[in-house]
Amino acid sequence: MRGSLLALLLLIVPFFAFAVADETASTGKRTTETQDPNIYEKTCAKSDKTDVILVVDGKKLHVNKAPINTIWKISLIMLYHCIHQKRIISVCPSIRNLIVSSQVQQKKNYLTTFFLLIKMTETPEPSIYEKTFAKSERTDAILVVDGKKLHVNKALLSYHSDYFNSLFNSDFTEKSKKEIEIKDVDFEDFATLLSLIQDNPLEINKRNAEPLLELADRFLMRSPKLLVANVVKNSTEYSKFQVLLLADKYDLEDLIDYSLTLYDSKDDFEDLYYDRELLHKLSDATKGKLFEKYFGDAMNAYDLLLEKQRRLAEEAKRKKMKKPNPPEPSMYEKAFAKSDKTDAILVVDGKKLHVNKALLSYHSDYFNTLFNSNFMEKSMEEIEIKDVKIEDFATLLSLVHDNHIVPETGSIKTRKEVDLSAICDLIASASSRGAFPRRLAAKIESRVDVLTRGRYYPEYISNSLRANLFDETPFRHNLAQVLYNLTARLPSNLYYRELDEIDLSVSSDPSVWAEAFKKFSESTSRYPIYVDSENSYSAPIEGRTNCALLTFFDVEAEHVLLARIHKSDQLELDAMQSHLQLFAKSRMFATFDRETMLEAMLGGGSRITNLQIRGESLQRAAARVGIRLHKGQTMTDWSRHCLRGDQLEYAAMDAVVLHHIREGQISTAVACQSNDPTPSAAIHQSTSLSSKISNFPHIFTM
């Protein structure tokens, strides 16, 4: 900076000298060798602050080596003469232009003009991308994008990218070039991509996520794809379909599996199904996974059962042959198995981890010293790492490799039951909308075979299923209707003894509803009316939900009403609403999770008690009170012309079990009062009871 200012001084001093000389000549005064020092000699006279002399045209200028004070004085005097005397000397065009500009904009702002002069000598600040890829002792190659240089490490790029591995290590002309130009890429996106394998990664956001995935595919870089996928997974800026579409487009298997977990209700699948334009963007493989998810996870349970049986058979065979089987390598040994990229072995707890020396040396000063200094480990084939856990150490190393390890935290999948009748309903519903793709139909058939293995599977059902899956006739309605009718002949497999003493009425007739409600009105208000609902496959009618069935249970009346409302008009629904609003004046209602149809009829949820605690499933809550609920009918068609026996048992029990759950919750909360009779314990017990009751506020709302 000092050199730049001195250079500026040398330009300004003669300029100033010419200006002052011109002014002196205009006054008509003659200069002689013996005359007094002129104005610029006076300005730069010797003082206690000067420590160097500059000689210009035989005139001495005393200045300070730290040039700011001298430059300041000369600049202000020069500008004064140039602006007020209107004399512009053509010594330095760039300074002249600045002065002219200052005359037009602000004649007296000398300070601003001075800093503009200083600014001319400064170097522009490098961008964050150029800073990230500045030259260092670790860099040994230069990539040029849009004329900008990125200093990189060949070994690091070769490890993470098969493209650059071939470029740097094969017989290409680029191998011997000092600078390699990368064409047809955006500089910022490309620099961000390369930074993801370094110690100083740049930001990944929604704007650059997809360009980064495209570049990662082009340059064959797996590790950055995993990092981008993780950002997409944890971002709230993407819809569940956008996540699935990105994962499918760039073949991110883990992200596909994650995005499928976001589709957890029939409504999600129906929204996707009805938007055909979006659905067609997915590959056939992902569509197949969606269909499997639509059936639930029960099919996988049968696969696991078969796999377990196969393993047991193999184990029995091995024991019979009495040949010891070598232990299966752990997930950490699999992640660090030997490959063409590994050149060193680390041993932790007797387990071998095959690693890459250049990669570890780049990311770790410890391993850089270990592998490249004069330690005995440098020549050892296997290096033992002590006092570390294999799980933690392998997970740490995986973060700089392509094989990221996710620690196991237990199974997060749940297995859902799906009955054959539910599968038939699903296939019939899909078939009525159009023919299945051949590959998808074959996959569905194989899954159905697995699900029904060892169970009663009539041939007439099998034939009808195959017709719906593989027949490409445009007359789909007839095929689907035949399957609907045949499933009505399937025997009922559900039986709950809790329903033995309970009357059941099912109807879409409002007069039958009114008769059941009359029975409810004759009982006391000791217990709430328990309510549950089931939805249809079809899209909801405008202004309504897609609720097909409302189930009401009154304990004292010992009666369950299954009100089929999928075809009810507004007058019939208004009549039901009047009955429910009348009950709400003296009775509470109890549900498990929110029931939007009931809330709409009551004008809010103030008279509704939600028995669900912390997102617990109905099946688990029932198990706590000793009742096993079968959920295989969840995905059946509740808008079919005639409900099957299994459907009636299923829907009725979903409401009846709510009474047992409520009674169990009350017993659990009240039991807290009788554990310890001592006075001090009574105070503690009171606090404990109040905290427990706060977890069950709905139980005591009457």
Q: What is the pLDDT of residues 15-32, one digit of tens each?
A: 444 444 444 444 444 444
Q: In whole numbers, what is the pLDDT of the chain averaged over residues?
A: 75
Higher pLDDT, 676 or 313: 313
Q: Where in the chain is the domain with CATH 3.30.710.10?
A: 128-237
Identify the pLDDT of residue 94. Answer: 47
Measured CA to CA, the distance from residue 166 to residue 171 in angstroms comes to 8
In the chain, the percentage of residues whose pLDDT exceeds 70 is 71
H-run or E-run covering 55: strand 52-56
Q: How many helices (H) and strands (E) does the chain have?
A: 31, 14
Q: CA-CA distances (angstroms) from residue 518 to 63, 356, 422, 533?
A: 109, 79, 34, 21
Cα four-point dihedral sign 60, 61, 64, 67: negative
- Residue 206 clears pLDDT 90, i.e. is over it: no
Best CA proximity match to 385, nearest among 377, 376, 373: 377
Identify the pLDDT of residue 522. Answer: 84
Measured CA to CA, the distance from residue 566 to residue 547 in angstroms comes to 7
pLDDT single digits (tens) 103-130: 444 444 444 554 454 444 445 677 788 8
| Confidence label for 681 from pLDDT (cuts 50, 70 and 90) | very low
Identify the pLDDT of residue 18. Answer: 41
Architecture category of domain 497-667 in CATH: 2-Layer Sandwich (3.30)
Q: Where in the chain is the domain with CATH 3.30.420.10?
A: 497-667
pLDDT single digits (tens) 47-94: 887 887 877 777 888 777 665 444 545 555 555 455 444 443 334 444
Model confidence, pTM: 0.42
Identify the pLDDT of residue 685. Answer: 38
Identify the pLDDT of residue 425. Answer: 83
For 313, the token pair is 């058979």
- Residue 235 clears pLDDT 70, i.e. is over it: yes
Give exposure, 653-679, as e/b (b: 16+ Cβ within 10 Å).
bbbbbbbbbbebbeeebeeeeeeeeee
For residues 89 and 22, is the Cβ–Cβ distance under 8 A?
A: yes
Identify the pLDDT of residue 697. Answer: 37
Q: What average pLDDT score do residues 34-53 get? A: 75
Lowest mean pLDDT among 35-49, 58-72, 202-216, 482-496: 58-72
First to last CA, the chain: 82
H-run or E-run covering 621: helix 618-624
Q: What average pLDDT score do residues 171-183 get? A: 81
Identify the pLDDT of residue 110. Answer: 47
Checking DSSP bridges between strand 503-507 and strand 547-554, what pairing results, if any? unpaired
Q: What value, to the nearest 5°, has the Cα angle with vertex 296 and ends 295 and 297? A: 130
Identify the pLDDT of residue 529. Answer: 93
pLDDT single digits (tens) 452-472: 665 666 777 888 888 888 887
Q: Give CATH superfamily name and number for 128-237.
A: Potassium Channel Kv1.1; Chain A (3.30.710.10)
Identify the pLDDT of residue 486. Answer: 80
For 249, the token pair is 């487009």
Measured CA to CA, the distance from residue 589 to residue 527 in angstroms comes to 9
